[in-house]
Structure 1
Amino acid sequence: MDYVLSGSDYYFFTPYVYPSTWPEDDIFRQTISLLIVTNLGAFVLYFFCATLSYYFIYDHSLMKHPQFLENQVYREIKFTIQSMPWISIPTVALFLLEVRGYSKLYEEIEFPHGWLQLIVSIISFLFFTDMLIYWIHRGLHHKLVYKRIHKPHHMWKITTPFASHAFHPLDGFLQSLPYHIYPFVFPLHKLVYLGLYIFVNVWTISIHDGDFRVPRIFRPFINGSAHHTDHHLFFDYNYGQYFTLWDRIGGSFKNPSSFEGKGPHSYVKNMTEQKCSSPSENGYKKEKLGNGELTKIE
């Protein structure tokens, strides 16, 4: 993040905003600048990528699904706008530690071993963060914290790309925490870290975009939109972020109903109104969809 901060200082903050007597490495100035840059960057990334996904990838027929809420897109965006500034506060505290040199982020790359380390660090970042997010996400489903923290995100049963960042602030920060922990534990190149930060935000949008197309060879391993849609519908499955590994280890893996011809697209296509209810389970009712699957409703 110090690359972004340095560029912002050079091109904007130093010549146009702050007095020349205020040093660029002053901790209070860095905090203010990081708050501005983090919020601006997050909103630009969210609106740019989610809008592109919504208009060019998202299947708008899903909006006919009976569990798609009235004015849902507006509500997803509103919830995100209200939450992001709060999420940014603890996030900036971690960025500040990185900028001030307390992490293991580095700049130089030595050939050839440095490039090998770069590749290994990317792979380890994905698996490390996927593992921690799995357990954090699963913990957020515990009855003691779910209703207060994670429930708002499960308001959206049939998601759009704009639901990707529509979290309670504490929920959003906790699920992003593994990305910030990694560079304090393992060496990571600064540009790679910045690129991965962008990637994880784009990936988060992609698993909410309703596009279930995945090459068949990757279906057993990649936790895509089809898996995450079933998580929103059926609640107790597919907590992972990128991979299905920890869901398989933790016994929470569910083969996506869409891969079996029973997903939301099939329901909308068939457009049946037949529904039935079963007794409540763990505080949640179950509603039968037209495809015969059960989805938990509150």
Structure 2
Amino acid sequence: MDYVLTFVDYYIFTPYVYSGSWPEGNVARQILSLWIITILGGELIYLGFGTLNFYFVFDHDLMKHPLFIQNQVKNEIHLGSMSIFWMSFPTVGLFYLEIKGHSKLYDNIETQGLSAVFLSIVGFLFFTDMCIYWIHRFMHHKSIYKHLHKQHHIFKIPTPFASHAFHPLDGFLQSLPYHIYSFIFPLHKMVYLSLFVFVNVWTISIHDGTTAFQGN
């Protein structure tokens, strides 16, 4: 995330947003900047790729299904957007720890070697998928489901906009493995950033309605 922060600081925040007397290394400024980047980036990926998927991939005939609720797309977008907003607060804390060097993210590929980069991608996907599987199962426990995860399953015939339509705590807990990995295992910063975007796009793609419709 420090790559993104440096880029946005150089081209946007420093020349156009912040006062010249507020140094880029200031803690409050870094946290505020990360918060803005996290919200705008999250909403852009969600709404941008969600819209593309909705209009070019999603089967609109599914909207005629009796389980497709009234104003569903509007409700999905509202819940998804609000979830991203509230999830951004604890997420920024994790991003801040990363840019301060408390994770195992690194800059130079030669530090670990090219083969280690490819292995780290496999490891990331395996680790996160395994963790999310168990977190998801935990969310379906009868004592928890109705308080958190039920919000997501209101949409029986989901559109791509249901991808991020979670209770914020539910969504954050399911996103934790993506952050935790970088604090446990070495991972190149650009690979991490690419994978973070990829998993968000992937999450949108698996909520395109077809699989859920067949499963119900």
Deviation string for 1:116-149 (max 9, x for gaps)? 0110000000000011101111001111111111
Residues of 1 paired with 2:92 and 2:74: CA distance? 27
**1:239 equivalent in structure 2:** none
**1:9 equivalent in structure 2:** 9
Q: In structure 2, what residue type is equivalent to 1:147? A: K
**1:195 equivalent in structure 2:** 194
**Residue 15 (structure 1) shift:** 1.2
Aligned pairs, how many?
Answer: 216
Query: Which has the higher Rg, Structure 1 or Structure 2?
Result: 1
Equivalent residues in 2 for 1:201-216, closer than 5 Å? 201-211=200-210
Residues of 2 paired with 1:23 and 1:101: CA distance? 19
Deviation string for 1:50-78 (max 9, x for gaps)? 00000100001111111111111111011
Matched, 1:82 2:82: yes
**Residue 79 (structure 1) shift:** 1.0
**1:123 equivalent in structure 2:** 122
Q: In structure 2, what residue type is equivalent to 1:83? A: S
Deviation string for 1:208-240 (max 9, x for gaps)? 0134xxxxxxxxxxxxxx2xx27xxxxxxxxxx
Equivalent residues in 2 for 1:213-232, closer than 5 Å? 226=211, 229=212
**Residue 17 (structure 1) shift:** 1.5
**1:99 equivalent in structure 2:** 99
Q: In structure 2, what residue type is equivalent to 1:133? A: I
**1:251 equivalent in structure 2:** none
Equivalent residues in 2 for 1:156-175, closer than 5 Å? 156-175=155-174
Residues of 2 paired with 1:164 and 1:88: CA distance? 16
Task: Give the CA RMSD over aligned residues.
Answer: 1.3
Deviation string for 1:96-130 (max 9, x for gaps)? 0001110000010129x611011000000000001
Residues of 2 paired with 1:43 and 1:87: CA distance? 11
Q: In structure 2, what residue type is equivalent to 1:146? A: Y
Residues of 1 paired with 2:18 and 2:62: CA distance? 48
Q: In structure 1, what residue type is equivalent to 2:45? A: L
List gaps (5 residues or longer) in structure 2.
none
SS in 2 for 1:159: coil
List gaps (5 residues or longer) in structure 1.
212-225, 231-262, 265-294
Equivalent residues in 2 for 1:25-174, closer than 5 Å? 25-110=25-110, 114-174=113-173
TM-score, normalised to structure 1, is: 0.70
Residues of 2 paired with 1:42 and 1:60: CA distance? 25
Quick check: which one's strand share is greater?
A: 1
Residues of 2 paired with 1:87 and 1:110: CA distance? 34
Higher relative contact order (CA 8 A, sep 6+): 2
Q: In structure 2, what residue type is equivalent to 1:64? A: K
**Residue 33 (structure 1) shift:** 0.2
Quick check: which one's helix share is greater?
A: 2
Residues of 1 paired with 2:204 and 2:53: CA distance? 8
**Residue 26 (structure 1) shift:** 1.5
Deviation string for 1:241-275 (max 9, x for gaps)? xxxxxxxxxxxxxxxxxxxxxx37xxxxxxxxxxx
**Residue 21 (structure 1) shift:** 2.2
Q: In structure 2, what residue type is equivalent to 1:170? A: L
